[in-house]
Amino acid sequence: MGETKTKKTPRAAKAPASQRAEVWRVVVLNDPVNRMSYVVMVLRRVFGFAEERARKHMLEIHEQGRSVLWSGTREQAEAYVFALQQWHLTAVVQPEPAA
């Protein structure tokens, strides 16, 4: 594995057009192992967040059990989730609820 690069998701863009058109969320769930400073570091690396924003999400994960990190295209959401799983964070892609 590369040292700092984020691997591309293995997914080829093949979701149906109806799915591609939706907005998708990247959600990180709490886990009992990874230390807080590790989670902050991973969020900064993967999303390019500033320290303060990464810390806010980390606390949300810790206190509420989950945090929505990003929303946008399905393909980019999958790439983020793959990168987070490489760092052993529990991350899922979810469709954004309709307004």
Partner 1 sequence: MKRVEIKLNISAVAPLLDVIKQAADDLRGNLAIRATFPENDEEFNETWTSELLAGQNSDVRELLGLFGSEFFAEGSIAIDSHNSDSLLRGCSALRIQILTHWLQGIPADLLEEEDVPPEAIADEVRVPFAAYTFLDQVQKIILEHLDPTAAEA
Residues at the site binding partner 1, with contacts judged by CB under 8 A: 1, 3-4, 7, 9-12, 14-15, 31-35, 37-38, 41, 44-45, 51, 74, 77-78, 81-82, 85-93
Q: Exposed/middle/buried for 28, CB within 10 Å: 0-12, 13-18, 19+? A: buried
* Neighbouring-strand partners of residue 68: 27
Question: Closest separation between CB of residue 99 and partner 1, Å?
Answer: 22
Question: Closest separation between CB of residue 37 and partner 1, Å?
Answer: 5
Question: Closest separation between CB of residue 88 and partner 1, Å?
Answer: 4
Any residues with CB less than 8 A from the CB of 54 and at least 6 apart, and which? Answer: 40, 41, 43, 44, 47
